[in-house]
Structure 1
Amino acid sequence: VKDGVTGRAFIFLPELKRKRVIYPYIGVNKDLTDKDIDYKRFEDFKIIHMEFLDTPKQFKIQKCLSTLDIDFSLSIGMIYAKKGLTTKIKTILPNCKFVFLNEIELRVLTGSSSVTDGALMLNKLGARIVVVTLGRRGCIVSSDEGMIRVPTEKIKVVDDTGAGDVFAGGFLYGVLERLSIEDCTKIGNRMASFSIRDFGATRGLFKQKNKGFF
């Protein structure tokens, strides 16, 4: 797509520890269709990670990508979690190797007050590995091998914007390195801990880069 306005998000972080406000704008992304995608370029990929989108054109792209012979990873944000377990989400979950979401998103999506029950619900709908971040309490991972809970270190939170995406990136790095699921979560937790120490998703990471992450 050559013409159009680039998608963006305006994020406001009020003082006094009030919840942030995000105004997303999808922009030209809404015009992207499956005909614009060269699927041959994905032949050497090991993992594809995307955030769920249910607009018709974008959902068709996601559905096509999720059926490739590549591990498909999906984040379900609050915007779509609020819509509940729609037919579209139920359609794509069986193609997902990994599903990432936080505790609140899981409760809203599934309607379950129990994190473990909500994660198992997504497993039953076809998601093979469900990763739920719990903030200061770490995360849980639910799969056909059982459920594990991994704690995280205590860090003073400055801004947790984007921390979930940073966690997912660290986790998937561990997957590519063929580490155990528990070690993948530890890497995700570690990376996210640097992200939340400063404003923005990446500023804390760049500050830590020269010092080393581990």
Structure 2
Amino acid sequence: MDVIMEVTDVIRFEMFDKEVIKKYTAIEYSTKLNVEGLKFAPGGSAANVSVDLTNLEGTKTAYLGKMGNDFMGQECIMDLKKHGVNTDGVIYTDMERTGLAVILITPYGKDRSILAHKGANNLIEPKELNLDLLDRCNSLIWTSLTSKSGINTIQKAITYMKEKNKPIYAAPSISILRNQAKEARKLVEQSELLSLNKEELEALTGQAHVYAGLEEACRMGPKIVAVTNGKDGSYITNGKDVIEAETFEVDVKDTTGAGDAFVAGLIYGSNQGMGMEEMIKFASAFSAFECMVLGVREGFPDKTIEVVNYINSNPLPIKYRKLK
């Protein structure tokens, strides 16, 4: 569950560390801040990708995870079902609450800071995996669980799907890459497609430069690696060729969920047999639709052809380079 807060009584400052500039959002110590806007919305990266994909014709999805027996879990399940996502793989527990993310939107641009609590999802165990549901799926995407049992569950799902020669897509968040670096790398090594942002790429590879990070990520095993870099665009590579894409010019309302929409666009493109250029254009356009509204799982067109028409009507500047 996402709690989206618009907060103005904050400051932003930058710190310089050698070649790296880090930006921070600060709250004055021991003060009460006014929240200008408040919105509750079901969220979570895996759930967002599942929902986003259902907006694309011919795509059916299922969500596997664990939720608390609470009102947040009920709201999340209702929203998944409303969008046509299969929830047979959801496990419920009284031991922990449903995962929660507090998203802070400030006046400093449209990027946001997130306070995330994994909650019940981290309690999932391999024995709770719905293998019958996996049998009905053509591919698997894993995102971010940071507990040992959660990672073991992802590994079991990957092993099961690979035995049936079904593709594995990876979209690890910064939390698993920082807290379970060794385990996350092992999962990436077994994935055909990897999608992350620039910060996550550096956490995974230890490389601050995008091209060095792309090269290292490709050496881990994925056939396709895609990296987003906010307003500065995105990259996609097959280990030899790289395509750099700028972003579509849109009136950005909120970037929450944009990365998940990008992942959904990549997966759809891969499943449709698109080449790299077509994939990155489609993913960028799909992400742009998400940015034009406040909140997640919003703003998407009713038909896939509308995404295609948008791409054809709004040329996306791209560059071709060699990785090696």
Q: Identify the TM-score tier after normalising by the shorter chain.
A: 0.7 to 0.9
On the 8 A contact 2:146/2:179 being kept in 1, the answer is: no
On the 8 A contact 2:224/2:236 being kept in 1, the answer is: yes
Residue 192 of structure 2 aligns with which residue?
A: 97
How far off is 1:183 after superposition?
0.8
Distance in 1, Cα, partners of 2:242 & 2:110: 33
Task: Please list every run of at least 4 consecutive aligned residues from structure 1 whose deviation after the TM superposition is greater than 6 angstroms.
Answer: none
What does 1:119-130 correspond to in 2, within 5 Å? 119-130=214-225
Q: What are the Cα deviations for residues 155-205 of structure 1, in whole angstroms up to 9, with x where unaligned?
A: 232211110100110111112222212211111100101111121122222
Q: What are the Cα deviations for residues 74-97 of structure 1, in whole angstroms up to 9, with x where unaligned?
A: 11212233448x221221122111
The equivalent position to 2:168 in structure 1, one of 72, 75, 79, is: 72
Question: When you count strand as a share of all residues, which structure comes out higher?
Answer: 2
Question: Could you say what secondary structure the match of 2:152 adopts?
Answer: helix
The equivalent position to 2:278 in structure 1, one of 163, 180, 183, is: 183
Distance in 2, Cα, partners of 1:62 & 1:95: 11
Question: Could you say what secondary structure the match of 1:2 adopts?
Answer: strand
Question: Is there any run of 5+ residues in structure 1 with no aligned partner, and where?
Answer: none
The equivalent position to 2:250 in structure 1, one of 146, 150, 155, is: 155
Please, what is the CA RMSD of the aligned residues?
Answer: 2.2
Taking every aligned residue pair, what percent have the same amino acid on both sides? 21
Verify: 1:2 aligned to 2:92, yes or no: yes
On the 8 A contact 2:110/2:252 being kept in 1, the answer is: no
Q: What are the Cα deviations for residues 4-45 of structure 1, in whole angstroms up to 9, with x where unaligned?
A: 322222212122427523122222222211111122321232
Structure 2-normalised TM-score?
Answer: 0.60
Q: What is the one-letter code of the residue matched to 2:177?
A: A
What does 1:2-81 correspond to in 2, within 5 Å? 2-4=92-94, 5-17=97-109, 19-67=111-159, 68-69=161-162, 70-81=166-177
User: Whose radius of gyration is greater, 1 or 2?
Assistant: 2
Question: Is there any run of 5+ residues in structure 2 with no aligned partner, and where?
Answer: 1-90, 310-324
Q: How many residues align?
A: 211
Distance in 1, Cα, partners of 2:283 & 2:130: 30
Question: When you count helix as a share of all residues, which structure comes out higher?
Answer: 1
On the 8 A contact 1:152/1:186 being kept in 2, the answer is: no
Structure 1 residues 3, 87: closer, same or farther in 2, change over 3 A?
A: closer
Distance in 1, Cα, partners of 2:93 & 2:175: 26
Structure 1 residues 109, 2: closer, same or farther in 2, change over 3 A?
A: closer
Structure 1-normalised TM-score?
Answer: 0.87
Question: Could you say what secondary structure the match of 1:203 adopts?
Answer: coil
Distance in 2, Cα, partners of 1:113 & 1:152: 21
Q: With CA pairs under 8 Å and 6+ residues apart, which has the higher RCO, 1 or 2?
A: 2
Structure 1 residues 26, 54: closer, same or farther in 2, change over 3 A?
A: closer
Structure 1 residues 144, 113: closer, same or farther in 2, change over 3 A?
A: closer
